């Protein structure tokens, strides 16, 4: 379910953030300290000179006409009107929504305020919200219109509207959309646009085989293309990176609907922007799943762990933790073959309403044999305001009142037509030995890892850094 996403989301997610639905931080460590906002004196500040640039950079992506926030912040009058609430949510760290521990990692899409920005904004409000010369304020940025990725080259829509009942829960639904592609296409930007945001909780898009139907969406060989979740809505890859849709493929949409008391319909669309030329790198997604867990009733800090060994050198683009309403915190720890250990992402206060994909500022080389450990904690107690039922024993499931534990990775592979043929022959030979010699699988697997690593290192090259979406 992972992808490199731009800032966005759905209105209720923003509203929940403003209302303060935040989880407690991890039990075994305090939340990252907030910068002091009251001990430093700041000179006289004005909206035109000091505040407009901050609001434009950190707020207006959502707080604008057509944005997902419940009100706009595109003018001095609007910012002043909401200044008391702004002071409260900024002081408490609820807005802008960003949940990564600043002690670990560096991210291109970091929405948080710097210490100076926070101090400046709060001091301006405390000083009385002086406007300054509004004619000298910088112009607001121009945002895309109907599609946040810009005008798509192609829009593919569900063939028929789907009926959503008024009440209760619904199993995941599947919709198949033939692409009609007569040749392979490379996709540099993807956006999923729900036809009815009021009832669409999330959408995942897979690339299925020609003529695939809904049931084949569960095929593990399907390529995950993108999706729509609370908090983030689009994918835009760096230059020279794209995802592939083979000729004749069918897009398979997995849709999670949440009835809201009124029978209605949805007809979701997918917008695609094609790469102008075949990319140097193909983007891939991998999910580290732990499905075998049981969270006891009233447990406030239940731990779930899953590890994954990287089979070949890859370039890591982004990380995304996924849990449901009882999710409390999530950490990605990388244990490298040379013995080093590093936390690349720590989310001490997970928020289901803002499911951010954390885009690394610079792609990170992860060598073959690295072990990635995902550790999550769940709060099933009555102290969790989002908990639907503290008395329930909670297991893996698709519905929001069930739970999931997934650590998603976006990463780069070299093009399929690029590997050295000798590497491919050697790797195929090692793979062929695995089923015939079960007692020798550990040694054979180690040989495979070594050969994959050697080939990947020879082909390794630098790629452009990511920029905020």
Taking residue 296's Cβ as centre, other Cβ atoms within 10 Å add up to 11
Question: What DSSP character marks residue 81?
Answer: H
Give the residue with greater pLDDT, 338 vs 444: 338
Is pLDDT of 408 > 50?
Answer: yes
pLDDT of residue 453: 54
C-alpha 397: how far from chain center:
20
Give the residue with greater pLDDT, 259 vs 11: 259
Task: Return the SS3 of 345.
Answer: strand
Hey, what domains does the chain have and what are their CATH numbers?
5-136 (no CATH), 152-279 (2.60.120.230), 421-454 (no CATH)
Tell me the helix, strand and coil percentages in the chain, rounded to 5.
20, 30, 50
Residue 295's beta-bridge partner residues?
A: 394
pLDDT of residue 214: 52
Give the residue with greater pLDDT, 469 vs 314: 314
C-alpha 417: how far from chain center:
29
Is pLDDT of 429 > 70?
Answer: no
Q: How confident is the model at residue 30 (pLDDT cuts 50, 70, 90)?
A: very low
pLDDT of residue 449: 57
Is pLDDT of 138 > 70?
Answer: yes
Q: How confident is the model at residue 171 (pLDDT cuts 50, 70, 90)?
A: confident
Phi then psi dihedrals of residue 444, to 5 deg = -65, -40
pLDDT digits (tens, 9 = 90+) for 187-225: 999 999 999 988 998 898 999 887 776 544 444 434 788
* Rg of the chain in Å (alpha carbons): 23
Is pLDDT of 10 > 80?
Answer: no
Question: What is each CA distance from 129 to 47, 48, 106, 392, in whole angstroms?
Answer: 7, 11, 32, 48
Q: How confident is the model at residue 267 (pLDDT cuts 50, 70, 90)?
A: very high
Residue whose structure tokens are 């769940």: 378
pLDDT of residue 441: 55
pLDDT of residue 463: 40
C-alpha 140: how far from chain center:
26
Of the listed ranges 21-35, 120-134, 144-158, the one predicted with least confidence: 21-35
Q: Among residues 196, 185, 201, 324, which one has the least CA distance to residue 254? A: 201
Question: What DSSP character marks residue 215?
Answer: G
139 burial type by CB count under 10 A (0-12 exposed, 13-18 middle, 19+ buried): exposed
Percent of the chain with pLDDT over 90: 57
pLDDT digits (tens, 9 = 90+) for 215-232: 444 444 347 888 887 666
Of the listed ranges 241-255, 265-279, 437-451, the one predicted with least confidence: 437-451
Task: Return the SS3 of 453.
Answer: helix
Percent of the chain with pLDDT over 70: 76
Q: How confident is the model at residue 288 (pLDDT cuts 50, 70, 90)?
A: very high
pLDDT of residue 439: 55
pLDDT of residue 38: 41
| Mean pLDDT value across the chain | 82
Question: What is each CA distance from 198 to 158, 194, 385, 443, in whole angstroms?
Answer: 17, 9, 22, 53
pLDDT of residue 434: 46
Mean pLDDT of 305-324: 94
pLDDT of residue 232: 64
Predicted TM-score (pTM) of this structure:
0.75
Of the listed ranges 37-41, 326-330, 340-344, the one predicted with least confidence: 37-41
pLDDT of residue 75: 96
pLDDT digits (tens, 9 = 90+) for 348-403: 999 988 888 899 998 899 999 999 999 999 999 999 999 999 999 999 998 889 99
pLDDT of residue 19: 38
Distance CA 305, CA 350 (A): 16
pLDDT of residue 81: 97
Residue whose structure tokens are 């009555």: 382
Taking residue 443's Cβ as centre, other Cβ atoms within 10 Å add up to 11
Of the listed ranges 3-12, 178-187, 210-219, the one predicted with least confidence: 3-12
Of the listed ranges 151-155, 304-308, 399-403, the one predicted with least confidence: 399-403
pLDDT of residue 296: 98
Phi then psi dihedrals of residue 334, to 5 deg = -110, 125
Is pLDDT of 316 > 90?
Answer: yes
pLDDT of residue 450: 62
């Amino acid at each position: 379910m992972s992808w490199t996403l731009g800032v966005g989301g759905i209105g209720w997610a923003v509203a929940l953030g403003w209302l303060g639905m935040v989880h407690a931080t991890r039990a075994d460590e305090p939340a990252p300290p907030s910068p002091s906002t009251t001990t430093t004196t700041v000179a006289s500040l004005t909206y035109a000179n000091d505040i407009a640039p901050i609001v434009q950079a950190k707020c207006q992506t959502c707080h604008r006409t057509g944005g997902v926030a419940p009100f706009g912040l595109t003018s001095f009058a609007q910012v002043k009107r909401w200044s008391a609430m702004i002071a409260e949510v900024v002081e408490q760290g609820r807005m802008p929504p960003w949940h990564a521990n600043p002690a670990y990692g560096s991210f291109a899409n970091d929405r948080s305020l710097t210490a100076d920005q926070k101090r400046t904004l709060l001091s301006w409000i405390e000083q009385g919200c002086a406007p300054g010369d509004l004619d000298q304020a910088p112009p607001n940025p121009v945002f895309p219109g109907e599609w946040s990725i810009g005008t798509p080259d192609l829009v593919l829509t569900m063939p028929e509207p789907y009926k959503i009942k008024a009440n209760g829960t619904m199993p995941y639904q599947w919709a198949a959309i033939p692409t009609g592609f007569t040749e392979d296409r490379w996709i540099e930007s993807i956006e999923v646009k729900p036809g009815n945001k009021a009832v669409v909780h999330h959408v995942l898009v897979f690339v299925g085989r020609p003529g695939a139907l809904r049931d084949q969406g569960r095929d593990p060989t399907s390529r995950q293309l993108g999706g729509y979740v609370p908090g983030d809505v689009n994918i835009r890859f760096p230059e020279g990176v794209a995802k592939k849709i083979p000729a004749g493929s069918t897009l398979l949409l997995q849709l999670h609907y949440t009835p809201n008391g009124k029978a209605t319909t949805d007809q979701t669309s997918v917008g695609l922007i094609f790469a102008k030329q075949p990319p140097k790198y193909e983007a891939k997604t991998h999910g580290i799943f732990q499905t075998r867990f049981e969270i006891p009733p009233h447990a406030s800090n239940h731990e779930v762990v899953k590890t994954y060994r990287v089979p070949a050198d890859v370039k890591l683009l982004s990380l995304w933790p996924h849990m449901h309403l009882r999710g409390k915190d999530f950490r990605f720890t990388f244990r490298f073959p040379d013995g080093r250990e590093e936390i690349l992402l720590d989310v001490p206060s997970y928020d289901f309403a803002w499911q951010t994909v954390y885009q690394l500022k610079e792609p990170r080389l992860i060598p073959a044999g690295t072990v990635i450990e995902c550790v999550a904690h769940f709060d099933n107690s009555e102290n969790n305001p989002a908990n639907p039922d503290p008395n329930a024993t909670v297991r893996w499931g698709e519905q929001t009142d069930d739970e999931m534990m997934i650590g998603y990775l976006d990463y780069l592979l070299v093009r399929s037509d690029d590997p050295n043929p000798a590497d491919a022959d050697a790797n195929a030979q090692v793979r062929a030995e695995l089923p015939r010699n079960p007692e020798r699988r550990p040694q054979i697997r180690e040989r495979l890892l070594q050969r994959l690593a050697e080939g990947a290192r020879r082909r390794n090259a630098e790629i452009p850094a990511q920029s905020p979406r």
